[in-house]
Structure 1
Amino acid sequence: MAQRALPLPAARLGRAVRTAGSSTAVSGVVLLLPDGEPYSYRRPSSLAYALQLPLARTLARAGRDDGLAAHLVHYRCRGWNTADAHPAADAEWAVEEVVRRYGDVPVCLAGHGMGARAALRAGGHPAVAAVLALAPWLPPDGNTEGDGDAADVPEPVKHLSGRPVLLVHGTNDARCDPELSFRLAQRAKKANRDTCRFEVHSDGHALRQHHAEVAALASDFVRGALFGHAYARPVADALAAPPPLGLRMPLAAGFGKSLRG
């Protein structure tokens, strides 16, 4: 396990990503939480942040008329680091910083990989209105056992109640087992009926093969969850469907094409 030799730098928010629209005021914020590593006190990878920029821009463009701003969260270090759960703590700090900067606006935590777990873990903050978890990195069997936390303690889900939660996972993800996100979604659905999960068939951890569809799905979810827009029919059906149907919803090829024009 990596050892910490020096004090960690402070977490910070990247520059706001916004697209000019009819609204000039910030009325909602999405926080992008990048992927990372299980154990490391090294500074976060610049590549991990760069990979989140396209989604940040897509979300900002989709929500331009609603006053949506997107920020990348810069972690103190790149590792989860067992019980320290640094990215989750940094996500909570970032939500507090959004409240300080923008006031009482709804926040969506949108993470990828380890960042998705951080989004799920920090999703109970009162200012968080929605959680988007892409290819979440989770401990074996949905328990914290195996990543250095207390054994046989399930990953928490009850704190997510009262806010829409969307999980998206590629069926060919070789880094983060998609079955683990399905099992977590099953438990989350029992505590929070506004939980759904989409499967991206044949795609891997980075969700590159169907990146346009994933971005369109994320945009539809964020606009609906933060600003009350009607969800696209597949999203509405997934949220309303009982398990396992709403937790194994296939992401159709071409999803959102009409919205992208």
Structure 2
Amino acid sequence: MREDTVSPLVLSRTASRPRAAVLTLHGGRADGLGAPPRWNLPALRMVPFTRAITSATEGEGVVVGSVRYRRRGWNGSRADAARDALRALYDLADLVGDVPVVLMGHSMGGRAALRVAGHPLVRAVVGLAPWCPGGEPVTQLAARRVVLLHGNRDRVTDPLATHALAARAREAGAEAGALTVQGGDHAMLRRAGLWQALATASVTGLLGLGPLPEMVAGVLHV
């Protein structure tokens, strides 16, 4: 089977009358052209977040899914994770129509989510310890809402770069903010309960299903 015939979109819940959708994007490597392994730790890290969102949006007509990467890494200008995320969004549109989408991505998945936020369905992005190297484009974030969470004990991706990207996104016309998870690490194991609570409440708040956490609302600026 040709690679481009396999959709990267994996749905964990559908809805008979979809009103919105959430897609989660796990992390990966800077480089790696091989397929992700069957035992994929970055993907497993997102499982409790996906389950929490599925539970929090029960009965609200929210479709929940994830992006299954066909390559393990970002791979420079190939931006494989972003390519798969964009394909997943188009496949989602074919399945559920024109519904607002919130993307939630960790690490490389955060970078992919931010990169494809210009898709017409995307209304908001929640980035968890996102990979935000210098020079990342931000014009596609105009008119989007962007919540970035980063632990101050992260030794893999740079918290300061995340705050810098949020500032540039605001200049580009986004409602964007970055929040420091005190004591949080890259794997989101330290203060795991806080990570999940903030991420889940941010998603439901951005969907209009409840209020945003006060600490998140406090950092969102245009």
2:144–2:174 Cα contact (<8 Å) kept: no
Q: SS at the partner of 2:104?
A: strand
CA RMSD of aligned residues (A): 1.9
Q: Displacement, 1:14?
A: 2.1
Q: What pairs up with 1:44-123 in 2 under 5 angstroms?
A: 44-45=36-37, 46-123=40-117
Amino acid at match of 1:124: G
Task: Choose from 7, 10, 13 the match for 2:9.
Answer: 13
Q: Deviation digits for residues 138-183 of structure 1, max 9, x if unmatched?
A: 32xx1xxxxxxxxxxx211111111110111010111111111111
2:20–2:101 Cα contact (<8 Å) kept: yes
Ranges in structure 2 where 5+ consecutive residues have no aligned partner = none
Task: Choose from 107, 127, 130 the match for 2:124.
Answer: 130
Matching of residue 239 in structure 1 with residue 217 in structure 2: no
Show structure 1 runs of 4+ deviating over 3 A: 7-11
Compare relative contact order (CA 8 Å, sep 6+) and give the higher one, 1 or 2: 2
Q: SS at the partner of 1:218?
A: helix
Amino acid at match of 1:75: Y
Q: What pairs up with 1:110-259 in 2 under 5 angstroms?
A: 110-139=104-133, 142=134, 154-227=135-208, 229-240=210-221
Task: Choose from 18, 23, 27 the match for 1:35.
Answer: 27
Q: Displacement, 1:8?
A: 5.0
The CA distance in 2 between the partners of 1:89 and 1:15, in whole Å, is 18
TM-score (norm 1): 0.78
Change in Cα spacing, 1:11 to 1:48, as seen in structure 2 (3 Å) is farther
The CA distance in 1 between the partners of 2:55 and 2:130, in whole Å, is 25
The 10-residue stretch of structure 1 (210-219 or 51-60) with the greater mean CA deviation from structure 2: 210-219
1:66–1:227 Cα contact (<8 Å) kept: no
Q: Displacement, 1:193?
A: 4.5
* Structure showing greater Rg: 1
2:35–2:71 Cα contact (<8 Å) kept: yes
Change in Cα spacing, 1:90 to 1:193, as seen in structure 2 (3 Å) is closer
Q: SS at the partner of 1:92?
A: helix
The 10-residue stretch of structure 1 (64-73 or 53-62) with the greater mean CA deviation from structure 2: 64-73
The CA distance in 2 between the partners of 1:193 and 1:85, in whole Å, is 23
Q: Displacement, 1:25?
A: 3.0
The CA distance in 2 between the partners of 1:50 and 1:228, in whole Å, is 26
